[in-house]
Amino acid sequence: PSCRRYVAGGRCKSTARLEGKVVIITGANTGIGKETARDLAQRGKVIIACRDIVKAEAAASEIRTETGNQQVIVKKLDLADTKSIREFAEKFLAEEKELHILINNAGVMLCPYSKTADGFEMHLGVNHLGHFLLTFLLLERLKQSAPARIVNVSSLAHHGGRIRFHDLQGEKCYNRGLAYCHSKLANVLFTRELARRLQGKFQRQAGHLSAWLSEHLTANALHPGSVYSELVRHSFVMTWLWKIFSFFLKTPCEGAQTSIYCAVAEELDSVTGQYFSDCQPAYVSPRGRDDEVAKKLWSVSCELLGIQWD
């Protein structure tokens, strides 16, 4: 019915192949990450980077059988632990000479207050800082492999977020719904600042190669839609509501379409720093367009992670 079609939203129509290309997808053992991996595995080599290896192996095995592509590989990555992120990156860089698409997809939602191994509030730590560090560690390989793309899965929830620098770890005041919104706003701001820096850096380095690179290493963010997935598992009320209204929610396959679109669509070859929903540009909240906050979040993130990223 047309109502269902409306809920399903946009579809990625690109038939782009990824032969000889390497894709990393974080958190691809379930939900939209798994569906993104299933689609991209029909096009090229996919590395599923997950905390739960058993679940990830089951997903990879299913995808290998279905697509006939044996190049669906599982690697351990716990975004709530910077040691694990560094180990993952080190192994990847030792084993793979190229990286063409990095999809920062994994996320937590509505967790009761808890902290990562490094003492970061869980939503901020996993959804923002974990992916910030991972991108930092893999950036040179992405540049060397250009044309390459970084895809950050954010959410419409970024509209409800704000970056509370005075209480970044939510120690003074914590609301798990808002903590999720704040982390999704951080994804949008990170994408914006990353794209700005990539363009700026290459423009400063005179010469044709630099102009080519700035167009060919892009970073975009997206809202997958309201998807019927395990993401709400920490909230009894949300789980219950999700079941009742499942008809009005996207399936994980429908929810994966914009991630796939941002990863492969030919028309996005030189599009960067944008935010998409239903496979088209979408409205970003005023807070998500605040360049001063984006710059400050960048430097605070570097400080928290103990890295220098100029």
Q: Please say whether the beta carbons of 254 and 309 come within 8 A.
A: no
Q: What is the DSSP letter of 273?
A: S
CA pair distance 115, 240, nearest whole angstrom? 26
Q: 180, 228, 261, 275: which one is catalytic? A: 180
Active site residue 174: no
Contacts of 249 (CB under 8 A, 6+ apart): 7, 226, 227, 228, 242
Rounded to an integer, what distance in angstroms lies between the CA atom of residue 75 and that of residue 60?
Answer: 11
44 within 8 A of 17, measured Cβ to Cβ: yes
The reply to whether omega before 147 is within 30° of 0 (cis) is: yes
Contacts for 121 with CB less than 8 Å, ≥ 6 apart: 113, 114, 115, 168, 169, 170, 171, 174, 179
Please, are residues 116 and 169 in contact by the beta-carbon 8 Å criterion?
A: no
Distance linking the first and last C-alpha atoms of the chain: 51
Report the Cα 265 to chain-centroid distance in Å: 17
Q: Which residues participate in catalysis according to the annotation?
A: 180
